[in-house]
Amino acid sequence: MAAPGRVGVIADDTLQGHLLAAAIKGQGYRVLVSTAPDSLEDRWLEEGALDLWVVDLSREDRWQPFLDRLLEQAAAPLLFCDGQAPARTASHYPRWERRLVTKLVDYIGKPAVERLDTVPRVPAPAPIPRPREFQPLADGEGVAERVWVLGASLGGPAAVKQFLDALPPHLPVAFVLAQHIDAGFLDTLCQVLRRDSRLDCQVADTGSRLGHGRLLVAPVSESIEFDRDGGVRLTGEPWEGPYAPSIDQVLHNVAGGFGGCAGAILFSGMGNDGAIAAPRLAADGTTVWAQTADSCAVSSQPDAVRETGCVSYSGTPEQLARQLVERVRREVAVAAP
């Protein structure tokens, strides 16, 4: 995992400075200093001290001498904010934070992503007993009746693996995983996820198909779309926004292309990917769950989605697996003739 960028925050409003610093840290960058203009120490302006300054001054006229000093002496580039940070509970907070991280990426590169060379190996949990309602299926064949999107970032592979390993065979669900990861580790990710699982796991490509008993992993280099029959197509276009793959875009494309997303689960990770699309889908009937903060390696991502108010259940990876099995069991029982 590459070391995240070193950022300094300057704000003349204490609350604004706190909100900016918290948002930047939540994306995986390091905030080495957060200060008011009149408290800035000269050592932070020196060459090599920081990679970027994020500056927010509500009264620039008051701080003109300071700004002149900053422009003249700061070795790191300056990013000037253009609006008051909203409260984290505000409906437009995810979009504000997304604009901020997009600017950060433009200046100092993308936030940290999973590489899989540091993922801890943990024992696979005992699989949940297969409910009698789950009859043997032609796994992966036919059109999936229900599709669940799994979203994860830093710490996600270990959590997702625990979740998948706990699932019983013949679960009538198709999964799509959007995992922020270094592109070179996609094949390794599939190997890790299918090692102790009963799911067919593969990187999504043109011609791939959603199917029960199958997990499609979204590629990193280009986005994917889905058709009504569960078919997958590479678009040839990069993912929108600063995240690759984009959980928000996967959710949108599954719901819009396939015609429905039964549920979404947000696992461990940095940032707020998913916090824009998940509330929209939840309003249309999609179930949204999230990993509990205390069971995450990093909880920024599931916390961001939780703060939108659309998460109806939070649990550890194994608890999430049990919740899903019981939910699907009830759905199958109701649908049985």
Distance of CA 138 to the CA centre of its chain: 31
* Unique residue bearing structure tokens 């959603």: 210
Supply the pLDDT for residue 118.
Answer: 53
Measuring CA to CA, how many Å separate 38 from each of 35, 60, 139, 144, 194? 8, 13, 64, 60, 55
Label residue 142 left, alpha or beta by phi (over 0 means left) and psi (-120 to 50 means alpha). Answer: left
Supply the pLDDT for residue 258.
Answer: 95
Considering the entire predicted model, what is its pTM?
0.85
Contact between 5 and 108 (Cβ < 8 Å): yes
Supply the pLDDT for residue 89.
Answer: 78
Supply the pLDDT for residue 119.
Answer: 56
Q: What is the mean pLDDT of each run of 10 residues along the chain (337 residues)?
A: 76 92 88 94 93 90 92 94 80 87 88 63 79 71 85 94 93 95 90 87 94 95 95 95 94 95 96 94 97 95 95 97 96 82
Supply the pLDDT for residue 132.
Answer: 87
